[in-house]
Structure 1
Amino acid sequence: MAFDVAAFRAGFPSLASGIAHFDNPGGTQTPTVVGEAIARTLTGPLSQRGSGTLSQRNAEEAVAGFRSAIADLLGGVPGGVVHGRSATALTYDFSRTLAKTWSPGDEVVVCELDHDSNVRPWVQAAERAGVAVKWLRLVPETGELDLSSLDVITSRTRLVALTAASNLLGTRSPVATVAARAHEVGALVYVDAVHHAAHAAPDIATMGADLVVCSPYKFFGPHCGALVADPALLETLRPDKLVPSTDAVPERFELGTLPYELLAGATAAIDLIASLGTGTSRRERLVSAAALVAEHELRLRVRIEDGLAALGDHLTLHSRAADRTSTLFVTLRDRRPSDVHELLAKQDVLVPAGTFYAYETFRALGLPVDAGLRIGLAAYTDDSDVDRLLEGLADAIA
C-alpha cells in the first residue's frame, strides 16, 4: 500500500497558500475535517456534561471520544487519559503533584535531549522540595543518549523525565532501556512524546513509561495537550483542586470546564491518521498508518540529507542518531540562521531559526542557543516542497 501524498494534501486548505512548511515540529497545519469537528461541536447543541438533553450528551461524547482516541494513539486506556491546556501545563501540574511525595535526600533525573517543558518543571519542583537533580547526558558527536549516564539512576531516584524523541535533533531515545533501569529502583518514568507521537504510534507499555504526554497540534489537531497513565497510578496522586470538583480519575486532574470543541478536533485528527492505515481496530490502523507515513518521510529526509551534503562544508548537520525522526538540525558556516530563514521565507519556504526550547541540548552540543535551522517534515510534505527547500538553501548560501 503506497501513501498518496497528493490526496492527503487535498484535505488541508492552508496548503493552497503555496507555503512549503518545514516548521512542522512546532505545529502542523490543520485539515478541513478537524476544523469541521471543532465548529460542529462548538455550535452545538452544547452545554455542561450530562445525559438529560442532547446538548449534555454532546459534551459527554466529546470527552469520551477524546479519551478513547488518545488512548488508542498512545496504547493506553481511556480511563487514564487526562486533558490539559498543553503538554507544558500538564507537566507543571504533575510535577507539583508528584513533588508532594518527595523528601530531602531524594533525586530526580532529567535529560539533555529534552524540550525545556520536560526539564524546567522538574528542576523547579525539585528545588522547592529540596531534592537533588541528576542528568542523563547526550553524546555530542552522534546526538544520542549516553547510556553510561544511566548510572545516575540510583535507589534515591524518585522520577526520571525523558523525551521519546528530541524536538531539535530528532533522536529517538531508548526509553524502554531507561525505564527498566528506573523501575529497578522504584522510580517513576515520565515521557515527553510530543515530537515522537507526530511520527509514530507510541505504546506506553512497550516504552515502559508510567506517564506519557503529547500535543495534538503536532499531528494535525488543535492546540491542547493530553497525558496517559495507568488509572491505578492516577488514583494514588492527589492534585490541588476545587472542593466541589469531582475526585474521580481522570477528572480530578482537569481544572475547570473542558474545551469540548478542542477534544472533538483532536479526535478527528487521530481518526484522519487512522484512515491512512489498515486493520480492524483504530489502534491497528494507527500503527499501520504510522509505518506508511514514516516510509514516505524517510524517503524525503534522505533526499534532503543528500542535498545538504552537496552544499559541502557551508553547513553542518547535527541530526546523526541511528534512530531518529524526519527532523534535521543544521548550523551554517557563513550565514546567520535568521538571515537564511528570512531569505527562504521570501520564497514561501518556512524553515524556522530559534531556540526551539531545546536549551539543554544546545548547551550539550556546545552551541549557542539559536544557532541554526530546524527542518521538519510532516505527512503532507512532498517532493516539490523538498525541491524548493534545497534550491532556496543553495541560493542563500551562494
Structure 2
Amino acid sequence: MTYDVTTVRAHFPALAEGAAHFDGPGGSQVPDVVGEAVAATLCAAIANRGSVTAAERRADRIVADARQAAADLLGAQPGGIVFGRSMTQLTYDFSRTLAKTWQAGDEVVVTRLDHDANIRPWVQAAQSRGVTVRWADFDPASGELAVEAVRGLLSDRTRLVAVTAASNLLGTRPDIPAIAAAVHEADALLYVDGVHLTPHAPVDVTALGADFYGCSPYKFCGPHLGLVAAAPELLATLHPDKLAPSTNAVPERFELGTLPYELLAGTTAAIEFLANLVPGEGTRRERLLRSLTELEKHEQALLDRLDTGLAQIPGVTRYGSPSRHRTPTVLFSVAGVPSQVVYERLAARGVNAPASSFYALECSRHLGLGDAGAVRAGIAPYTTAGEVDRLLDAVREL
C-alpha cells in the first residue's frame, strides 16, 4: 500500500487547532495512541522495577518493551539501548565517561554542521582532559560535509569523531558509512547524532557504522526523552559515574535514577505507530522499514514541491543546495524582512515555521547567518501538499 496522509492525520488531535505545522524538526505533534499509552501507564499501578508484585512486573515489562521497540526502529540490540532525559543529557553523560580514557595530546573531531548537542559536550570534555579539538568544515554553498573534510583530520591520536546523520538546520545527510570506515581505520569511535534523521528515513545503526547513535522520541511522534544505541559489548567497557547501590548491569548502569515509565510506554507506542503508517504484515522491524520507506517518498515529494515553490518567489534565499539526499527540511530568508518577522507573520496566518539557529550555532555562523539563523520549514508525517501551498502563499504575501 502507498502512504495515506489523510489516515495518518486522523490520529493527531493537535491538528484540529488548524495550524499548518512546519515546526516538526523542533518536536513533532503526537498521535492519540501515544497520549493514551502515557495516560494508561500513569493511571495503572506502578512501582520500581522488580518481579514480586504486579506493579513491579508492569514497570519491568514497560522498560523491556521500550528497549525492544527502539532496537527494532534502529536495527540495534535491545541490550544496548540507553534511555535518558534527552539526547543532550545523554551525550554529556557519554562525553564525560569516554573522557576518562583520554590523555593529554589525544584528539577529538567535531563538525560545524552539527547541532551544539553533538559539539559542546565533546569540546568541554576535551578541555577538561587537555585533549585537542579538530573542526571539520562543510561547504557553505552546498551545505555538504565531505568525507575528506573528516578523514583529513584523523590521526593515530584521534579518540572520537562526533558527526550528525542529518543537519537539523539544512537537512544535509553526510555519508556516514564512509565516515565510519575512515574513523575505524584510525581506531577511533564514532558518535552519531541521529535526532534529525530518525523521523524521516529507515535507520540501521550497523550499516551506518555508528558506535553510538543518539536520537529523540519527541522528534518522531513520541514523548520527551532521549536514547542512545550502542553495542552492549562496547557499553560493558565503559564505567560511568553512578550511585553506589545502583546496578552495574548494562545498559542500566548508564541510566541515572528511576526511568520515566510513562514516557517509555509512549515511546513504544510511537514506534508501533510508525510501523503501521503503511498497513501490512511482518515483524515490527519489517513493518518499520516498509512504512518509513514510504514516508520518505511522501516527504520527498512535498520537499520537491516546497523547494520548487520557494525558488519561484522573488527575494527568497534558500541555504544549501537542493538535493534528493537530505531530510525534508528547508532553511530560507526573505529579502528585506528579518527572519523573526517572517516567523511572526507566518504564524499570524496559521503557518508555524519558526526562525532561529535552532542550536546549530556553528552551522548558522558558517553559513554567514550569525546567531540569529533563518526561517526553517520542516515536513512531517502529517504534512500535506495543501499545507505546503499554504506556506508558499504566505511567503509570497510577504
TM-score, normalised relative to structure 1: 0.98
Match for residue 85 of structure 2? 85
**Equivalences for 1:103-118 in 2 at 5 Å?**
103-118=103-118
* Aligned equivalents of 1:229, 1:172: Cα separation in 2: 21
Match for residue 357 of structure 2? 355
Match for residue 155 of structure 2? 154
For the residue of structure 2 that corresponds to 1:101, the secondary structure is: coil
In the alignment, structure 1 residue 293 sits paired with structure 2 residue 311 = no
Match for residue 72 of structure 1? 72
Contact map agreement 2:316 2:334 (CA 8 A) in 1: yes
Give deviations 1:286-336, integer Å, cap 9, x for gaps. 111111111111111111111101103x01111326320100011222110
Match for residue 366 of structure 1? 368
Contact map agreement 1:331 1:371 (CA 8 A) in 2: no
Match for residue 344 of structure 2? 342
In the alignment, structure 1 residue 276 sits paired with structure 2 residue 282 = no
Q: CA RMSD in A?
A: 1.0
Match for residue 184 of structure 2? 183
Query: Which is further off, 257-266 or 384-393?
Result: 384-393
Aligned residues: 395
Match for residue 13 of structure 2? 13
Match for residue 258 of structure 1? 259
For the residue of structure 2 that corresponds to 1:242, the secondary structure is: coil
**Equivalences for 1:33-48 in 2 at 5 Å?**
33-48=33-48
Structure 2 unmatched runs, 5+: none
User: 1:279/1:208 Cα in 2 relative to 1: closer, same or farther (>3 Å)?
Assistant: farther
* Aligned equivalents of 2:65, 2:329: Cα separation in 1: 30
Give 1:236 deviation, angstroms: 0.3
Query: Which is further off, 323-332 or 259-268?
Result: 323-332
**Equivalences for 1:190-205 in 2 at 5 Å?**
190-205=191-206
Give 1:135 deviation, angstroms: 1.4
Match for residue 382 of structure 2? 380
> What amino acid is aligned across from residue 309 of structure 1 in structure 2?
A
Contact map agreement 1:215 1:223 (CA 8 A) in 2: yes
For the residue of structure 1 that corresponds to 2:227, the secondary structure is: strand
* Aligned equivalents of 1:371, 1:244: Cα separation in 2: 46
**Equivalences for 1:228-267 in 2 at 5 Å?**
228-267=229-268
User: 1:321/1:238 Cα in 2 relative to 1: closer, same or farther (>3 Å)?
Assistant: farther
* Aligned equivalents of 2:391, 2:220: Cα separation in 1: 22
In the alignment, structure 1 residue 311 sits paired with structure 2 residue 309 = no
> What amino acid is aligned across from residue 142 of structure 1 in structure 2?
S
Contact map agreement 2:73 2:271 (CA 8 A) in 1: yes
Query: Which is further off, 334-343 or 243-252?
Result: 334-343
* Aligned equivalents of 2:27, 2:67: Cα separation in 1: 21
Give 1:279 deviation, angstroms: 4.7
* Aligned equivalents of 1:170, 1:182: Cα separation in 2: 23
Contact map agreement 2:331 2:374 (CA 8 A) in 1: yes
Match for residue 26 of structure 1? 26
Contact map agreement 1:144 1:321 (CA 8 A) in 2: no
Give 1:116 deviation, angstroms: 0.2
Give 1:366 deviation, angstroms: 2.2
Give 1:216 deviation, angstroms: 0.2
Give deviations 1:165-215, integer Å, cap 9, x for gaps. 000000001111111111011100000000000101211111101010000
* Aligned equivalents of 1:155, 1:367: Cα separation in 2: 35
For the residue of structure 2 that corresponds to 1:374, the secondary structure is: strand
* Aligned equivalents of 2:218, 2:120: Cα separation in 1: 22
Give 1:371 deviation, angstroms: 3.1
* Aligned equivalents of 1:167, 1:68: Cα separation in 2: 26
Query: Which is further off, 40-49 or 189-198?
Result: 40-49
* Aligned equivalents of 1:331, 1:154: Cα separation in 2: 39
> What amino acid is aligned across from residue 53 of structure 1 in structure 2?
T
* Aligned equivalents of 1:235, 1:168: Cα separation in 2: 34
Give 1:280 deviation, angstroms: 1.6
For the residue of structure 2 that corresponds to 1:139, the secondary structure is: coil
Contact map agreement 1:332 1:372 (CA 8 A) in 2: no
* Aligned equivalents of 2:74, 2:271: Cα separation in 1: 11
Match for residue 207 of structure 2? 206
Give 1:226 deviation, angstroms: 0.5
Contact map agreement 1:41 1:58 (CA 8 A) in 2: no
TM-score, normalised relative to structure 2: 0.98
Contact map agreement 2:192 2:213 (CA 8 A) in 1: yes
Structure 1 unmatched runs, 5+: none
